[in-house]
Amino acid sequence: MAYYSQIAINIMVLITLGVSLNLLLGLIGRVSMAQSILFGIGAFTAARLALPHRTPEMADNVSGIGYGLNWPWYVAIAGAIVVTFIAALIISIPAVRIIRGEYLILLTLAFQLGGQQTMVVAKTATGGAYGVAGIPPITIGEIDFSGYTDLGTFHIAIVMFIVTLLVILIAFGIANSPFGRILKTLREQDSVVSSVGKNPVTPELLAFGIAAAIAGGIGAIFALSQGAIIPGNFNLDLSILIISVVVLGGTGNLLGTVIGAIFLGALEPILRSALGDSAIPWRAVIYGSALILMTYLRPQGILPEGAKLKLRRKSRQESIPVTQAEAIARLCRTKELAGFNSDEVLELRDLKKSFGGLTAVNGASFKIPRGKITALIGPNGAGKTTIFNMITGTLKPDSGQVYLRDKEITLLGAVKIAQSGIARSFQDVRLCERLTALENVMVAVPNQLGENLLNLVFKPRACRRREKEVRARAFECLAVLGVADKAFELISDLSYGDQKLVAIARLLATDCEVLLLDEPTSGVDPSNVEGVMQGVMKLRDIGCTVCLIEHSVYFVEKLADRAVFLDQGVVLAEGSVESLMNNKELSELYFGG
Amino acid sequence: MNFDLVAQLAISGLVIGSLYALLGVSFGLVYQTSKIFHLAGAIPFAAAGYAAVWAAKSLQLSIWLSIFIGLAAAVIIGVLILVLGYFPLIKKKATLLSLFLISLGLSVAFPNLLQIVFGVDNLPLEVYDAEGNPAVPFANPTYASGFLTITKLNIVQVVSSWLLVIAVLYTIKKTALGRSITALRTNPAMASAVGINNKVVYLVVFSVSSFLMGVAGILITLQFVANPTMGLQWTLIGFIAVFFGGITSLGGSALGGLILGLLSSLSGIWLGSQYAPIVTFAILFLTLLIRPQGLFGKEAI
Amino acid sequence: MKLQNMKRKWIAATLASGLLVSAFSGISATSANAAPSTCINKIFGAGGKAAGQGVTINAGMLLAMTGAGSFFGDVMSKGAKLAAEQIKAAGGFNYKIQIADHKNGDVPTALTEVKRMVSQGKIKVLQTSYGAPSEAIAPIIAANKVLTLNGGGSSPGQLKKDYLWQNRMLFGEDPTAGALAWIHKKYPTAKKLAIIGTQENGVGAQTTTAPNAWKKLTGGTIVATETHDVGATDFTAMASKIKASEADAIITYSFGNDPGYQVKAFRQANITAPIMGIEFTSQAQEVAGASYDTFTFATDFYNVANPNPWNKCYVAAFKAKYGEDPEYYGSNYYEQVFIYWELVKRVIAKGGNPNDSKQLQAALKANPTFNSVYGGDAKKVGQASFLLSDHSISKPMGVFTVKNGKPVLTQGIVKVAASADPNSALK
């Protein structure tokens, strides 16, 4: 029994570590090679906290015997969780938002390799290569939790089972919370989060911290149940095994991780009993081959993330709760806005920006009127997108100011500017392909309680209530643009025109007053252009101020109330669309060139 | 400070760093074109050593023929890994992490296969005379100048590594094939649009990379012995060198390897051998924080 | 002769690579040529019921079967398997071996595997190896009463543990005084010593025993202390530092392949100081090549040429079965099986249950002296005794010098107390 219990424990350790990595790899798409060392930091922290005080019999040079603070097991586990959480923050604070993709792999790899070497060298902390032994087991009443006896091992397996369920539950909760939605958006469209006015740094840091804390907590249980640990337990091989579990199971799918861990964790014992002693090196060969074979058979993982989504979409064939007319009525804000006396919402004063020797914008000044559609037109390279980037704070102007309703916002930074009421779309739609249209829009709704982890823990009910409202709001935004029927479709399944509309709905969901649209019809099928145009007009109907960059003359004529003509970073003319169209010089510049 | 010691450590660092540079370029080639974490690069490394030992021992071939067979084995097995291992998955549009799993599976299985076939013993690369007496193939004298020493094999390692590194860099820069590789690296979609055959480029890249791995494997076998796990540590170092130098530049990968070698050796001035890796990884960590694109990487991210 | 053997091996290897499928059965193929039982009976008495015939003991081995240390697992299992065959053929007990792989010292794997062998395999005795895994499993074997012997990787942390006994001398610790005394005798002017080792084995010897003994012997100094990772191969930087320290003598506590890489790097860096080790394997010899011919080492080293009659019988059987000379580690695990056999015989003689590890350990404690392939002479089998106080063993030790790739006994040494004059370690 001890053996099967032990195998079960090993598999559950693998499951929990896999789930912890899946929070990073699955939710934000960041690969960490350091899960193993974090697991180890938790294990050694717990060991040092739980080991008994030093006694005179403990000779210094006797390896393997440790001493510590003699704290109870639960304090040791809690301590391990806190320490690993902090350790993860220490590595991620300088790295977050700077280091991406493959370089993050290298950074975590350096942490892993440097860390495992430090564990060997730091003898006073870890006992050196021989580690520490004699770690006291968990004690609850008279129950035996010693890893050295049959019954104790079985009891540990039960504890691990509960812990595993708990970890999966936490991960599931995070993945399906508004917090998790932000992480998924970070994974697929890094720039979007700040453009809808949300702080992308804290969620990413927290995700690293939580993933580490889970690994650390499991490390603590591992240490308490094993009684002896050595630095060699926490090597790179384990990190690679954890990554294999997640990738083999299917990135972003918790159930997949469980299956992946069972597959890889049970394969060895099965091979052992099937092949016997004589073929020990063969086991490794077959193990490697099985890994290859599984990857061939299921290159997207045993259960890809999509598999889960398909199930969910089927189960949620609900009717659309709101019609277009109702939605427009609900979102209309012309009345509230009537109170403002100034007609000009946004004002640019003498904005300048050059890249190297190239001047992109050279003293642009213009105003954007409230409740109207203003088009920025001009030839390629006129500096239109650069102006958008400066307004939204993704680029810092060399000089000049931007005023939103007479308040300067020039240097507030992307997140603050979006929060103060300016949102933009991008030429490419920048939607999260693996999320539904509804989820894409929900990300943008402001003031979501559930984006704060503390609220999720301490005010779960309020979070759920707010989540309902957020959902309703997202539906309304989709309905205004006429794509509410696509709410449960994955973005990858939508036509490009519909994607553009979802992207505009996402802007609308930010509650921003000024919406900047970067070429809303570019790349859209001619048959769908009309739909996009209708959508933009609906924005004006409900009282939004729209500024758009557009090349299609037809579109500008049909839609825009005003136009600003730019060339080589300077405003050449502004006024009604007709007046500009009738200006011969301009039309030559624009169309004739 | 003892200048003799510093100079000697610099020489050691140069020798090991040159091998790292060779591995860096080998790894960088594969990574730049395919983005695969080619952990299985350890396989051509070990295959070259084993094939050469086998040729010398069982076939009683001369040392040069044995080395040739070793290098041929490295290239063949490297290409086989690509064709049988990676191509089918690339065709299925698998993610890069899935390709990594293939690589991982291969590098778990292969050393054990070597152990099964050739046994657990360390195998020196020796030549045999008609009576079957083993002999060292090349004399490896130590050259000394005062305190400083270097062996002939060390010189061979440095020279051959850099000759190969320069040859590869030159080819990439000057030939049509090299330009295809660059094109594929910078814009794969565009490259296939203008008619560059991805498959051919991949085949060439893996052949060259495996050849370089094979050379490293032979050099190490000549210096010491062949054993089943010989390639694994080296592959990891090649991987680090690539990123340390910056993935956008092959020359950077080579220099990254060299600096890595010098760092690990020169840190011995102040610290014991066990601390060398900690220093190396700490510097790597800090470098990344200051220059996230790697030491010689061009574009900011 | 050597080539023929080699060729046979290589042709077999080539065939195996072609017939991977059939290799499954090929690996476990055993030689039909069983060991000559007569010499075993001569030494250990006649077979039969009193000798345990008909009694089956389930035995476990916890070894490094894969990874960098698989050489050790290979030779250890060879020794034990040969012993089991010889004993059965001589009418002794049936020693049924299960082998578990601790993957070159991985502790969680070792724990899982021992639990498997205890609960599934019902093992009564265990032959373990390596330091860290053996320390970690100590509480399990004590809780489940599995009489365990360790013949490779004995460390101070394994001492005084119930059911755990060491049948090799403590790694590094025990031969240190003799090793340094020998250096002092051979190179009386040597004053500056460099100490090299790992953090895995012989730590106390590196930090305390060796410096103290060296000061007592020579009044000299320790000019360099270098530790490195197990399995390191590049020792050029270390060579530079040792050279710069101008050491007159070097003692290395590295093991496995590592001393081979070290000695080669040191000699290539023109370091001429004598290098003393505390282990020798043919594998390190392969790595170092000719540069190992200046290497000396001090240990309870197994001597193939020992004329002790049991050893002659053992070497002949080993060669017949495996086509090569037995190794040091293989011999320790070979001896272990005979120790278990002896214990079973004693328990049977007392009318006890030979499958009860408690009774086996009691029999060991009652008389801790056993026959050994170490020591003895042409007429007499050697003897080795466990120390009841700490469960370690006392075996003949010596300083050996490598000549043409083979170790030659140069000087017998004995273990001495830390407080004693190290010179008294020289026999």
**Facing residue for A228 by CB, picked from C101, C135, C203:** C135
The minimum CA-CA distance between B137 and chain A, rounded to whole Å, is 32
CB < 8 Å to B102, chain A: 291-292, 295-296
CATH number listed for the domain at residues C31-169+305-394: 3.40.50.2300
pLDDT tens-digit map of A274-298: 887 767 888 889 999 999 999 999 8
Cβ–Cβ of C111/A278 closer than 8 Å? no
Structure confidence at residue A340 as a pLDDT band (50, 70, 90): low
pLDDT confidence of residue C29: 39
Q: Which residues have C-beta within 8 Å of that of residue A480, sequence separation ≥ 6?
A: A324, A327, A328, A331, A505, A508, A535, A538, A539, A542
- What mean pLDDT comes out for the span A353-373? 87
pLDDT tens-digit map of A24-44: 998 988 889 999 999 999 999
| Assigned token pair, A74 | 């639960």
CA distance B69 to B67: 5
The minimum CA-CA distance between A416 and chain C, rounded to whole Å, is 51
The minimum CA-CA distance between A170 and chain B, rounded to whole Å, is 25
pLDDT confidence of residue B299: 53
The minimum CA-CA distance between B217 and chain A, rounded to whole Å, is 22
Question: Number of Cβ pairs closer than 8 Å across B and C?
Answer: 119
pLDDT confidence of residue A592: 54
- What mean pLDDT comes out for the span C334-348? 96
Question: Is the pLDDT score of A525 beyond 90?
Answer: no
CB < 8 Å to B47, chain C: none
* CB-based contact, B106 to chain A, within 8 Å: yes
As its CATH architecture, domain A325-592 has 3-Layer(aba) Sandwich (3.40)
* Bigger pLDDT: C181 vs C427: C181
Strands A358-369, C56-63: parallel, antiparallel or unpaired by DSSP? unpaired
| Assigned token pair, A534 | 């209708």
pLDDT tens-digit map of A436-461: 999 999 999 998 988 888 888 889 89
Cβ–Cβ of C115/A3 closer than 8 Å? yes
Question: Is the pLDDT score of C26 beyond 50?
Answer: no
Instruction: Pinpoint the residues of chain C covered by CATH 3.40.50.2300.
Output: 31-169+305-394, 176-299+397-425
Q: Is the dihedral of CA A578, A583, A589, A593 positive or negative?
A: positive
Half-sphere exposure of A59 toward its Cβ, with a 13 Å CA cutoff?
8
B neighbour chains, 3+ CB pairs within 8 Å: A, C
The minimum CA-CA distance between B43 and chain A, rounded to whole Å, is 13
Q: What is the mean pLDDT of chain C?
A: 88
Question: Is the pLDDT score of A545 beyond 80?
Answer: yes
Which of B9, B12, B113 is the best residue to mutate to test the C interface, defined by the most C CB atoms within 10 Å of its own CB?
B12
Q: What is the mean pLDDT of chain B?
A: 89
What percent of chain A is predicted at pLDDT more than 70? 93
Tell me the longest C-alpha to C-alpha distance in chain C. Answer: 66
Cβ atoms within 10 Å, residue A208: 26
Nearest residue to C226 via CA among C249, C199, C188: C199
Q: Which residues have C-beta within 8 Å of that of residue C352, sequence separation ≥ 6?
A: C359
| DSSP state letter for C200 | S
CA distance C347 to C350: 5
- What ipTM was estimated for this complex? 0.90
The minimum CA-CA distance between C142 and chain B, rounded to whole Å, is 33
Exposed / middle / buried, residue A56 (Cβ in 10 Å: 0-12, 13-18, 19+): exposed
Cβ–Cβ of A232/C106 closer than 8 Å? yes
pLDDT confidence of residue A165: 97
CA distance C6 to B134: 11
- The amino acid occupying position C48 is G
pLDDT confidence of residue C3: 44
pLDDT confidence of residue B298: 66
pLDDT confidence of residue C28: 39
Most confident region among A112-121, A553-562, A580-589 by mean pLDDT: A112-121
Bridge partner residues of A65 (DSSP)? A133
Q: Where are the alpha helices (DSSP H) in B61-145?
A: 63-80, 87-91, 96-118
**Facing residue for A10 by CB, picked from C105, C112, C208:** C112
pLDDT tens-digit map of C43-57: 999 889 999 999 999
CB < 8 Å to B294, chain A: 103
A242, closest residue in chain B (CA to CA): B101
Nearest residue to B110 via CA among B80, B71, B67, B70: B80
Q: What is the mean pLDDT of chain A?
A: 87
Question: Is the pLDDT score of C25 beyond 60?
Answer: no
pLDDT tens-digit map of C298-311: 998 888 888 999 99
pLDDT confidence of residue A335: 57
Question: Is the pLDDT score of B293 beyond 60?
Answer: yes
pLDDT tens-digit map of B177-191: 788 877 877 777 667
* CB-based contact, B273 to chain A, within 8 Å: no
* CB-based contact, A285 to chain B, within 8 Å: yes
By mean pLDDT, which of A51-60, B56-65, C177-186, C324-333 is the weakest?
A51-60
Cβ atoms within 10 Å, residue C244: 18
CA distance B75 to B214: 7
By mean pLDDT, which of A281-285, B10-14, B65-69, C143-147 is the weakest?
A281-285
Strands A399-404, A344-355: parallel, antiparallel or unpaired by DSSP? antiparallel
Cβ–Cβ of A129/C207 closer than 8 Å? no
Q: C378-409 burial string, b = 16+ CB within 10 Å, else e?
A: eeebbebebeeeebbbbbbbbbbbbeeeebee
Question: Is the pLDDT score of A228 beyond 60?
Answer: yes
Cβ atoms within 10 Å, residue A527: 9
CB < 8 Å to A64, chain C: 132, 135, 155, 157
By mean pLDDT, which of A65-69, A509-513, B11-15, C90-94 is the weakest?
A65-69
Structure confidence at residue C35 as a pLDDT band (50, 70, 90): very low
| DSSP state letter for A464 | H
**Facing residue for B120 by CB, picked from C6, C10, C70:** C70
Is CATH 3.10.129.10 the classification given to domain C176-299+397-425?
A: no
Q: Give the residue extent of every domain in chain A.
A: 2-235, 325-592
Structure confidence at residue A122 as a pLDDT band (50, 70, 90): confident
**Facing residue for C3 by CB, picked from B116, B128, B272:** B128
A neighbour chains, 3+ CB pairs within 8 Å: B, C
Question: Is the pLDDT score of A185 beyond 80?
Answer: yes
pLDDT confidence of residue C163: 96
Strands A422-424, A514-518: parallel, antiparallel or unpaired by DSSP? parallel
Question: Is the pLDDT score of A482 beyond 50?
Answer: yes
- What mean pLDDT comes out for the span A582-587? 78
CB < 8 Å to A131, chain C: 107, 132
pLDDT tens-digit map of C179-219: 999 999 999 999 999 999 988 788 889 999 999 999 999 99
What are the backbone angles phi and psi of residue A543, rounded to the nearest 5°?
100, 10
Give Cα A107 distance to the centre of its chain: 19
Cβ–Cβ of A288/B282 closer than 8 Å? no
Cβ–Cβ of B98/A301 closer than 8 Å? yes
Say if CB A463 and CB A225 are below 8 A apart: no
The minimum CA-CA distance between C403 and chain B, rounded to whole Å, is 16
pLDDT tens-digit map of A192-220: 888 888 888 899 999 999 999 999 999 99
| Assigned token pair, C297 | 């080492």
**Facing residue for B142 by CB, picked from C240, C268, C282:** C268
**Facing residue for C227 by CB, picked from B229, B264, B272:** B272
* Bigger pLDDT: C28 vs A98: A98
**Facing residue for A296 by CB, picked from B88, B108, B284:** B88
| Assigned token pair, A122 | 């730091």
What are the backbone angles phi and psi of residue C325, rounded to the nearest 5°?
-75, 150
CA distance A248 to A298: 8
**Facing residue for B243 by CB, picked from A31, A94, A102:** A102
* CB-based contact, A154 to chain B, within 8 Å: no
* Bigger pLDDT: A260 vs B197: A260
